[in-house]
Amino acid sequence: MKPILKWQYDQIIKELLLLQEHQTDPTCPCETDGEMCVRKHLFTIEAYAEETIPMEDDESFRQKLEQLAKEAKQLRTEEESSLRGGSPERSTDLIEWPRKWRKEFEPYSLNVDEKDNSITECKL
């Protein structure tokens, strides 16, 4: 994996982690002071997924990125409706959804070309 592609996946994973963390922490003031955390993270996930698609050579991961972007957009649309006073119900669990996608991309994001002088696997 090229360094730019690794960086893109790292950004996606970070946003998925933040979304999951904000949803699991009852003390997180996500909706105060106009922050709209859930919307912000969904927007960012959608944007990074869309931006990464043309960089990705692996067809299966291109399809995964397309699906991630599509789902993030749908969830963002639901969140925006809720913020405008619509139904607060979501079609998807925002704790499990980011976890599922993070688990999909984490192992793949560790595969970096050796010629790039980067790690190829994580040994603890």
In angstroms, rounded to a whole number, what is the distance separating the alpha carbons of residues 76 and 116? 36
Which of the pair, 86 or 65, is modelled with greater confidence?
65
Say if residue 31's pLDDT is above 70: no
> pLDDT for 58-73, tens place per residue?
999 999 999 999 999 9
- The DSSP annotation for 19-45 comes to HHHHHH-TT--TTGGG--HHHHHHHHH
Question: In residues, how long is the chain?
Answer: 124
Amino acid identity at 102: R
Taking each helix axis as running N to C, give the angle between helix 96-109 and helix 59-83, from 0 to 180 degrees, rounded to the nearest 10.
150
pLDDT at 118: 47
Q: What is the mean pLDDT of the chain?
A: 86
The two three-digit tokens of residue 21, written as one number: 């963390």
Q: Tell me the three state secondary structure of residue 64.
A: helix
Question: pTM here?
Answer: 0.83
Residues 72/78, Cβ–Cβ less than 8 Å: no
Selection from 75, 111, 101, 80 nearest residue 17 by Cα? 101
Share above pLDDT 90 across residues of the chain, in percent, rounded to a whole number? 56
pLDDT at 120: 47
The mean pLDDT value for 45-68 works out to 98
